[in-house]
Chains A and B, each alone.
Chain A
């Protein structure tokens, strides 16, 4: 139980009202007092929630490239360097393939590493890749919680569907005869989407995830073109 006096100190700490000496002393206490740490985390999360009261405004489109330029990201540096050379396209393709292979290998290693961590042991992370040229830039990452039977999928570079069609997410469960629908996906004007999903019925083992183009409103089984697949 955190007494009122300690609560007051925690509040002043979160609000930045403590002197540097007081803040340092409080941080030492936080390091050893789990209950106080939890209380302070909840205070900070509650205080930061006030940011949500401000209206969301999309920043200027070029701001992210300005940020990247200042971060000296190694990947960014490579892009700038090669973009002015006449053989850039061929070189980029070759580098891109190498990066993709390395990235794929790295993600697999990371996922294997993650699965060893208790906190994420019940999570499955899948990287979905394009199956058709028209969607070659599209990608998605799925985080699936088998225990809770819920997941989150994040799409990037996925163009809007033609009128009368929808993207539909599927879970391939080897114990089922047909893929299980995980719902319809709508992308925003930035060709991105983040969707929390629940499958139409319980999934025993999610072997793969796929995205197809279906008629508007979705289908009970995939009928349209499969554009993304991953495991």
Chain B
């Protein structure tokens, strides 16, 4: 995502931090489809995904002033907040069979389920780059990256579920993440 886009985002969250409900509505309108899609993917339950998105945006409204552009892009900050809310819920309901389902039935990614929810053009461009970057890493690296982000499993849990040594899982995640860093350096 380019500099103008990110500066627009920074201005938007600054206004949210000042209690500007209109800016909050704009922020929601702009990012909720991808964040809800992510929550839905993680929870695999529409009601729980709505709760996650709701908790996430309430947190964003209350803690907007904590956003620090030197620590992450706005998109990354929002995504990590909603992801953490989802992980909190997943850990509450976590059971052995759930873990197994979350690993073995991990759904196909990169498909918008609702045409009207098409991403913002610049997010769409970033996603195309992500898709391209993931196509360059090994299938094993891609699998653990996606599991690590979207399943909320710890490294130990991923290792146990995939039957691979913990060191191998960590190495795959690290290599994959360093590759993503290269692709999005100074971006998003």
- A residues sitting closer than 8 Å to B (CB atoms) are 7-8, 11, 14-15, 17, 30, 37, 39-60, 63-64, 66-68, 70-71, 73-76, 110, 114, 119-120, 123, 125, 143, 145, 148, 150-152, 154, 156, 188-190, 192, 194-196
Residues of B within 8 A of A66 (CB): 54
Residues of B within 8 A of A74 (CB): 19, 21
Given contacts A41-B71, A44-B71, A114-B11, contact A50 B181 (CB under 8 A): no
Task: Kindly identify which residue among B50, B71, B72 contacts A63, using a CB–CB cutoff of 8 Å.
Answer: B50
Let me know if A50 and B112 touch, CB within 8 A: no
Residues of B within 8 A of A119 (CB): 7
A interface: dominant SS? helix
B interface: dominant SS? helix
Let me know if B155 and A70 touch, CB within 8 A: no
> Is B131's CB within 8 Å of the partner chain A?
yes
Residues of B within 8 A of A47 (CB): 76, 149, 177, 180
Let me know if B112 and A55 touch, CB within 8 A: yes
Let me know if B37 and A55 touch, CB within 8 A: yes
Most chain B beta-carbon contacts within 10 A, residue among A14, A51, A150? A51
> Is B13's CB within 8 Å of the partner chain A?
no
A sample of 23 cross-chain residue pairs with beta-carbon separation below 8 angstroms, ordered by A number, consists of A8-B174, A11-B178, A15-B177, A17-B154, A45-B72, A46-B177, A48-B83, A48-B188, A49-B127, A50-B146, A51-B149, A52-B119, A53-B146, A56-B112, A64-B25, A64-B28, A66-B54, A67-B28, A70-B54, A71-B24, A143-B8, A151-B4, A196-B122
